[in-house]
């Protein structure tokens, strides 16, 4: 079972690292998932991830205070706006746009309601 947790954590970590380069892919949720999986599969990998100088701080902020950095909030908002804009440009069906608008609005409310560091 530990192998599955480590594999899942590594996949999530990989997606999170890719998200650093591609802003439409969320980084922090994947890092949180990686930390969750590593905590169940490998104490060594979990400790490495939360102590990592670049990747660990967002995880610790979330675990300790449920906080999202101001920079991450702005990046998430830009990604949300870009995703909706792409849907508009592609001419997605109006009912899909409506669903997307509601979901993205709720996500934005959640993100901006969290404390910043």
Note whether 61 and 79 are same-domain residues.
no
pLDDT average, residue stretch 11-28: 86
Share the mean pLDDT of the chain: 92
Note whether 57 and 8 are same-domain residues.
yes
Can you tell me the distance from the alpha carbon of 76 to that of 72, in angstroms, rounded to the nearest whole number?
Answer: 6
Percent of the chain with pLDDT over 70: 98
Report the domain count for the chain.
2
Predicted local confidence at residue 75, as pLDDT: 86
Percent of the chain with pLDDT over 90: 75
pLDDT average, residue stretch 40-58: 94
Predicted local confidence at residue 26, as pLDDT: 80
Can you tell me the distance from the alpha carbon of 33 to that of 24, in angstroms, rounded to the nearest whole number?
Answer: 17
Phi-psi region of 28 (alpha: psi -120 to 50; beta: other; left: phi over 0): alpha
Structural contact between residues 41 and 2, judged by C-beta atoms closer than 8 angstroms: yes
Note whether 79 and 104 are same-domain residues.
yes
Predicted local confidence at residue 65, as pLDDT: 92
Note whether 19 and 74 are same-domain residues.
no
Rounded alpha-carbon distances, angstroms, from residue 29 to 17, 33, 38: 11, 6, 14
pLDDT at position 79 over 90: no
Eight-state DSSP code of residue 115: P
Note whether 57 and 78 are same-domain residues.
no
pLDDT at position 23 over 80: no
| Domain containing residue 18 | 2-65
Note whether 60 and 14 are same-domain residues.
yes
């Amino acid at each position: 079972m530990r192998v599955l947790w480590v594999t899942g954590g590594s996949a999530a970590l990989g997606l999170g690292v890719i998200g650093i380069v591609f802003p439409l892919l969320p980084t922090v949720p994947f890092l949180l998932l990686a930390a969750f999986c590593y905590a169940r599969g490998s104490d060594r990998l979990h400790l490495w991830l939360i102590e990592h100088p670049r990747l660990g701080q967002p995880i610790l902020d979330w675990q300790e205070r449920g906080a999202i950095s101001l920079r991450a909030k702005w990046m998430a908002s830009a990604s949300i706006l870009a995703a909706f804009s792409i849907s508009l440009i592609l001419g997605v069906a109006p009912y899909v746009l409506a669903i997307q608008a509601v979901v993205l609005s709720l996500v934005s409310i959640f993100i901006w309601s969290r404390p910043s560091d």
